[in-house]
Amino acid sequence: MWETLPKSLSTFSGDIDHLFWGVTYLMGFSYVVSMLVIVYLLIAFRRKEGVKAQYIPGESGKHLMLIYIPLALFVCFDMYIDEETAEVWHKAKMELPAADTKVKAVAQQWAWTFVQEGNIETINELHVPAGKTVHVAMESSDTLHSLSIPIFRFKQDVIPGRIITGWFKSKSFTEVKAAKDSMVARYNNRPADDAHALELPVDDAGTASFDIQCAEMCGVGHGIMAARIIVHSQKSYDAWVMAEKEMIQEMQDDAGSSE
């Protein structure tokens, strides 16, 4: 099946998709009607032999209706878009629900450093539990970046000198895992002679991984500033945290014994 957008897997991604399609349909309708009117005018009032061109000031009631009716429609369209945008913006950006887990994301040319609670630090890998509210405190160590997680419809510019906190909450792990498995099956089951065939790695039973992008031109290495988010089941996430803490403790013990 042909898909126009990435799968929608966060609690507010459906609202953003609804807004996206609403704007698309309104602008598409306006474009088609405008083109039809232009084509009609080009045909109906094309140059004809023996017919003198007329100057039309557009001041009659008929002509004014052709101006003000489309204008009123566009104003209504704009008011609808503004109202819908304000509602979605407030939900996704202005409200900050209580966090189940917190992460610090530090952008630099050209990588992402994620610091989880417990001082667990990862490069270009963000680990989160499914179905939990995640607060992401974003900062940049050099220039302007933008943290984008398309699958969650999450995007936030990361600005030097500021710490900006955003949030997202994935759907249940069952839904997230099913979506990832369907993506893998869709791409990996292409014909062998497909020139655009793409092999996606298969996640283990307790995880589902998706792309993270920098969505702001940040220098010559912008195109390689890719990362991934790994969504865990709660059991898998707890095991990952425990393993990371044990590794940190071992490193500290080794450092202490070498002194």
The CATH number that applies at residue 217 is 2.60.40.420
Residues 159 and 229 in one domain: yes
Whether residue 202 is contained in a domain is answered as: yes
- The residues facing 29 across adjacent strands are none
Q: What would the two tokens of residue 31 be?
A: 């474009």
Residues 157 and 181 in one domain: yes
* Domain membership of residue 144 as a residue range: 101-258
Q: What is the pLDDT of residues 36-76, one digit of tens each?
A: 999 998 888 888 888 887 787 778 888 888 889 989 998 99
Q: What are phi and psi of 249, to 5 degrees?
A: -65, -40
Residues 87 and 129 in one domain: no
pTM for the predicted model, two decimal places: 0.81
Domain count, the chain: 2
Residues 237 and 178 in one domain: yes
Residues 82 and 106 in one domain: no
- Domain boundary among the residues 46, 67, 94 is at 94
Whether residue 146 is contained in a domain is answered as: yes
Whether residue 176 is contained in a domain is answered as: yes
Q: Which of 154, 136, 137, 179 is nearest to 13 (CA)?
A: 154
- Report whether pLDDT(193) > 60: no
Query: Could you give the C-alpha distances from 19 to 44, 75, 83, in angstroms and in order?
Result: 37, 17, 10
243 versus 55: which is more confidently predicted?
A: 243
Query: 119: exposed, middle or buried (C-beta count within 10 Å: 0-12, 13-18, 19+)?
Result: exposed
DSSP string of 166-184, one letter each residue: EEEEB--HHHHHHHHHHHH
- Report whether pLDDT(199) > 50: yes
Confidence bin at 192 (pLDDT 50/70/90): low
- Domain boundary among the residues 94, 112, 134 is at 94
Q: Which pLDDT does position 1 carry in this prediction?
A: 43
> Residue 101 and residue 129: Cα distance in Å, rounded?
9
- Domain boundary among the residues 43, 62, 94 is at 94
Residues 88 and 105 in one domain: no
> Residue 115 and residue 125: Cα distance in Å, rounded?
10
Taken in order 82, 163, 15, 87, is the CA torsion positive or negative?
Answer: negative
Residues 68 and 85 in one domain: yes
Residues 132 and 51 in one domain: no
